[in-house]
Structure 1
Amino acid sequence: MDTDIIISQLTEHFQEIVPLKEEEINIVTQKLEFIQLKKKEYLLREGQVSRHMRFIAQGSLYAYHIDEKGKENITQLGIENWWINDLYSYLSEQPSRMFIQANEDATIVQISKTNLELLYKEIPSISEFWRLKMQSAYVTLQERTFEHSRVDAYTKYRNFVTAYRNIEQRFPQYMIASYLGITVEYLSYLRKKHLSDVS
């Protein structure tokens, strides 16, 4: 793991939204932790309290909960340069109701809640970054909730592949189907229909 490359990657990610000075980057760097996961390893388990913000530097992960019938329901997919977390657990400090697991070997950069709150005071740009990120997360959640109840499956699929280009190749079909709330067989049908429509 080349931490210098990963720090540069994270720095560029921050600077897409807010400016950071060299000395501020150094302060942030001192508060980072690095985790390497093998495929299928857990980043977070149900019942644990999420105490970190987590950035995917390499690999892919997914978050899911298990319903009363024992079925996995996938709520988040994540690839490089995305953040993945149980925000409910992180913000409320309540035990997580989700699992977050590596879909591929992965490298994660995490910042503890304690350190992040220190950074908010030391570096106003970091506070601004997270204010904008939280707003974006809320908007995305609202859009997904609206889609779930009011949009047909084909439109959901089309919106998904348009918004998240190339992500479909990173995850098994059953995960994509679960994320969209449809069966694998129906996903296969929608994929063929979409390919026909765009060709």
Structure 2
Amino acid sequence: MSAHYEHILANCDIPCHRWLKNISTGFAKESVVIIHGAFGQGKSALAYRWLHMETPSSWRLQIKLIENRRKALQIAATLSAHDQAVGAPIVIYIDVRPHDQGWTLLVEELARIPQIRVLVTVREEDWRRATISRADVGFEDISLSLDRAEAQAIYDQLSRRETPGQGVDHRTAQSVE
């Protein structure tokens, strides 16, 4: 199941404070932070949680699909014009879909705009195919990997939570009437 921002609003995630701190530390060093890891590791949930905690809603945007280089350049030009008009800091979240074309070009272009920070989540296989160079773009690279203890702690926390309908039987329902 893919994470959505609504899951964060409903507190359905398990905040991983170590990784959230890594994102903040990354942005203290660079304007671009790239989180990569295997499918299902929680990259999107981590990004949404960080955005929710650290960025006012009016100063964050998500880009969901970058079809090709031309679209990437159009998006970058639009956001650059917005930056010049508003002049306020903004965070752009790019959740790279499998085989997205042009995301690296978009990151390179956005990294040139002073008031823009870019948070990227990308699957490991797409990250390995990417053609982004530190010579062209300064970025912090966060390789998301959960060790067994961390994964077990997340599982344990999720197992203890009550889900809708859990813990309610017919006697409880009758006593509410």
Higher Rg: 2
- The higher-RCO structure (CA 8 Å, 6+ apart) is 2
| TM surpasses 0.5 | no
Q: TM-score, normalised by structure 2?
A: 0.28
